Amino acid sequence: MSIGHSLLGLLQQGPRHGYDLKHAYDGHFGQGRPLHYGQVYATLSRLLKNGLIEETGPEPGNGPDRKRYSITAEGVTDVDQWLGRPENPELYLQSTLYSKVVIALLAGRDASDVVDAQRTAHLQSMRELTARKRAGDLADKLICDHALFHLEADLRWLEMTEARLADLGELVRS
């Protein structure tokens, strides 16, 4: 996920302080992985340097002056280009799961133990995501669905791999 583009997109709603941007980001995208303040301010510094945002002046308060940031026309154009650019599909051709199965076979271990352990872990994650989805709002439902569909694909792969373990074992040992 592009943190810079996400912050730019949030600034399209209006000028904000770094503190407000962090909380807006965490509320929309940070479930399980909130941004660190240092990451927010480092990203804002880079966006400012690149002319995608500007400071709209410090705001005096009870503590230190807080800087407000707003998106520039160049920033809006950058967000528009980012939104219009499809993400590269993640192909997972270098899978840790696959590596573990092959290493188990090469080491003469029972690779079905690796598959079973992974299946158990995936099913546990799916139960947790399903509970979160049931209790969550629409945004939570959508992000949980995304993760659940990926876990389902992994489970299908695990089933297919388990059915082919004997053939794969012969192949990797030859």
Mean pLDDT in the chain? 90
Q: Provide the percentage of residues in the chain whose pLDDT is more than 90.
A: 68
Q: Please tell me the predicted confidence (pLDDT) of residue 62.
A: 62
**Which sequence spans correspond to the domains of the chain?**
3-84, 96-173
2 and 82 Cβ atoms separated by less than 8 Å: yes
In this structure, whether the domain defined by 3-84 belongs to CATH 2.70.240.10 is answered with no
Above 70 in pLDDT, residue 64?
Answer: no
72 and 54 Cβ atoms separated by less than 8 Å: yes
Comparing 31-35, 41-45, 112-116, which segment has the lowest mean pLDDT?
31-35
Q: Please tell me the predicted confidence (pLDDT) of residue 1.
A: 62
Q: Please tell me the predicted confidence (pLDDT) of residue 82.
A: 93
Q: Please tell me the predicted confidence (pLDDT) of residue 156.
A: 95
DSSP states along 82-129: HHHSPPPPP---S-HHHHHHHHHHHTT--HHHHHHHHHHHHHHHHHHH
Question: 93-110 b/e with 16+ CB inside 10 Å = b?
Answer: eeeebeebbbebbeeeee
Q: Which of 146, 154, 115 is nearest to 129 (CA)?
A: 146
For residue 161, the surrounding DSSP H or E stretch is helix 138-163
Q: How far apart are CA 144 and CA 31, in angstroms?
A: 10
The pTM of the full predicted model, rounded to 2 decimals, is 0.70
Comparing 2-6, 16-20, 54-58, 118-122, which segment has the lowest mean pLDDT?
54-58
Comparing 65-69, 112-116, 127-131, which segment has the lowest mean pLDDT?
65-69
